[in-house]
Structure 1
Amino acid sequence: MSLPIVTATRYVLPLREGGSLPGVVEGNDLGTYVIKFHGAGQGPKALVAEVIVGELFRRLGLRVPELKRIMLDPVIGKSEPDYEVQTLLTNSAGLNLAVDFLPGSFGYDGSAGNPGDAGMAKILWLDAFVANVDRSWRNTNLLVWHKNLWLIDHGAALYFHHSWMSAEKFATLAYDADDHVFSIAAPGVPAVADELAAAITPELLTEVIALVPDEWLGEGDRERYLGHLLARLEHRSAWQPGGAS
Structure 2
Amino acid sequence: MKLRTVYVTRYIQALREGGSLPALADANDDFKYVLKFRGAGHGSKALIAELLGGEIARTLGLPVPELVFIELDEAFGRTEADEEIQDLLQNSQGLNLGLHFLSGALNFDPNTQEVDATLASQVVWLDAFITNVDRTFRNTNLLHWHKELWLIDHGASFYFHHSWENWEQHALSPFALIKDHVLLPQASQLAAVNESFQSILTDEKLREIVDLIPDSWLIWEGNHQTPDEIRKIYYQFLVLRKSNADTFVNQAQNARITLI
TM normalised by structure 1 equals 0.94
Unaligned stretches of 5+ residues in structure 2: 220-225, 255-260
C-alpha separation in 2, matches of 1:99 and 1:221:
24
Equivalent position of 1:129 in the other structure = 129
Residue 174 of structure 1: how far off its partner (Å): 2.4
Residue equivalent to 1:238: 247
The match for 2:94 is 94
Contact 2:115 2:186 in 1 (8 A): no
Aligned residue for 1:52? Answer: 52
The offset of 1:98, in angstroms, is 1.1
Q: 2:192 maps to which residue?
A: 191
Q: 2:117, 2:187 within 8 Å by CA — same for their partners in 1? A: no
> How do residues 12-161 of structure 1 correspond to structure 2 at under 5 angstroms?
12-110=12-110, 111-112=112-113, 114-161=114-161
Q: Distance in 1 between matches of 2:27 and 2:81?
A: 21
Deviation of 1:186 after TM superposition, in Å, equals 4.2
- What amino acid is the match of 1:105? A
SS of 1:92's partner is: coil
Range with greater deviation from structure 2 (12-21 or 178-187): 178-187
Distance in 2, matches of 1:9 and 1:192, equals 41
Whether the aligned pair in 1 keeps the contact of 2:45 and 2:162 (CA below 8 Å) is yes
4+ runs deviating over 2 angstroms: 165-168, 185-188
2:76 and 2:198 map into 1 onto residues whose CA distance is 44
Say whether 1:223 aligns with 2:224: no
Partner of 1:11, secondary structure, is strand
Q: Does the CA-based 8 Å contact 1:141-1:153 persist in structure 2?
A: yes
> Distance between the aligned counterparts of 2:218 and 2:198, measured in 1?
26
Percent sequence identity over aligned pairs: 46
Contact kept, 8 Å, 1:9 with 1:76, in 2: the verdict is: no
Counterpart of 1:202? 203
| Aligned-pair Cα RMSD in Å | 1.4
Give how far 1:92 is off. Answer: 0.5
The aligned amino acid for 1:230 is V
Question: How far is the alpha carbon of 1:88 from its aligned partner?
Answer: 0.3
Aligned pair 1:9/2:20, yes or no? no
8 Å contact 1:188–1:242 — kept in the other structure? no
Equivalent pairs, count: 242
TM superposition shift of 1:166: 2.4
In the alignment, the residues of structure 1 paired with residue 107 and residue 156 of structure 2 have an alpha-carbon distance, to the nearest angstrom, of 18
Q: Map 1:162-177 onto structure 2 (within 5 A).
A: 162-175=162-175, 176-177=177-178
Segment of structure 1 superposing worse, 32-41 or 74-83: 74-83
Are 1:10 and 1:26, in contact at CA under 8 Å, matched by a contact in 2?
yes
Bigger mean CA deviation after superposition, 70-79 or 144-153? 70-79
Shift of the alpha carbon at 1:149?
A: 0.8
**Separation in 2 of the partners of 1:127 and 1:215?**
26
Say if 1:128 and 1:177, in contact at 8 Å, map to a contact too.
yes
SS state at 2:75 partner: helix
Unpaired stretches in structure 1, ≥5 consecutive residues: none
SS of residue in 2 equivalent to 1:18: coil
AA matched with 1:170? H
Between 10-19 and 211-220, report the one with greater CA deviation: 211-220
Give the Cα separation in 2 of the matches to 1:77 and 1:167.
37
SS in 2 for 1:25: strand
